[in-house]
């Protein structure tokens, strides 16, 4: 279930969010009625779950000694292995940038939901945190580009401004301590209320008629609204 955590700033309830995916991932969501949460240390972003330069140049916490620094560094690395993330894009409308960024202008679909729908769709007792990503410069030593250090979740709502600000990301996050010693677990499938989550399914502008009809057949079967891209 959704849990209102102080570290996460959720968008307004009616904020539209999008998840662009290929056909296989779409089918996995629909047939499994689950959302996939990827283990955070497996993301392409090398800064995922880490602190920027400014935190090391001007640490917020009191000096803790070299030995304790090594212990703290190990703990922070371990935390990434049991933190799992599902990503969405905030945008009022679909855009050419969106299709290019997430599908490289290939065939696929965009699931359009809202912040409130995402919050209410989860059908597990485990806490799911939802919040907007904040964008900072990771290589600067400027004091304003620091991450708070008093909660282990803070690094998971910050990303490098230079590379990722175009994503305008909202993310859902879960923590699973039981996976700490299992590198074989790459992600988690979390049960959802499918119709509660999906407001509509939009088929990409590059899709063929055959692809559109295939997605329409699946969407109709599950009572989901579907439409072609407005582009």
59-111: per-residue pLDDT in tens?
665 555 555 567 777 888 889 999 999 999 999 999 999 999 999 989 999 99
Quick check: 7 pLDDT over 90? Answer: yes
Using alpha carbons, select from 159, 170, 197 the residue that is nearest to residue 90: 170
**End-to-end CA separation in angstroms for the chain:** 35
Share of the chain above pLDDT 70, in %: 92
Helices 23-32 & 209-221 angle (0-180, nearest 10): 10
pLDDT score at 49: 93
**Please, what is the average pLDDT of the chain?**
90
181-217: per-residue pLDDT in tens?
666 789 999 999 999 999 999 999 999 999 999 999 9
d(CA 227, CA 121) in angstroms, rounded, equals: 22
**What would the mean pLDDT of 109-126 be, rounded to a whole number?**
95
Cα atoms in the Cβ-side hemisphere of radius 13 Å centred on 227:
9
Phi, psi (deg, nearest 5) at residue 69: -60, -40
């Amino acid at each position: 279930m959704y849990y209102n955590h102080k570290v996460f700033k959720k968008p307004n309830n009616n904020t539209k969010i999008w998840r662009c995916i290929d056909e296989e991932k779409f089918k996995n969501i629909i047939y499994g009625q689950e959302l996939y949460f990827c283990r955070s240390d497996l993301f392409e972003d090398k800064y995922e779950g880490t602190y920027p330069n400014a935190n090391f140049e001007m640490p917020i916490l009191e000096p803790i000694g070299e030995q304790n620094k090594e212990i703290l560094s190990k703990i922070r690395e371990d935390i990434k292995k049991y933190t799992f993330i599902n990503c969405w894009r905030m945008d009022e409308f679909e855009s050419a940038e969106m299709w290019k960024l997430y599908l490289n202008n290939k065939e696929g679909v965009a699931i359009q939901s809202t912040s409130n729908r995402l919050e209410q769709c989860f059908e597990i007792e485990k806490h799911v945190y939802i919040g907007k990503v904040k964008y900072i410069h990771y290589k600067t030593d400027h004091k304003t580009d620091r991450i708070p250090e008093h909660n282990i979740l803070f690094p998971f709502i910050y990303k490098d401004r230079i590379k990722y600000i175009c994503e305008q990301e909202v993310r859902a996050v879960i923590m699973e301590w039981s996976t700490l010693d299992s590198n074989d677990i790459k992600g988690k499938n979390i049960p959802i209320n499918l119709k509660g989550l999906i407001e509509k399914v939009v088929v990409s502008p590059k899709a063929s008629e055959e692809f559109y009809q295939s997605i329409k057949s699946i969407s109709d079967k599950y009572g989901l609204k579907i439409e072609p891209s407005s582009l």
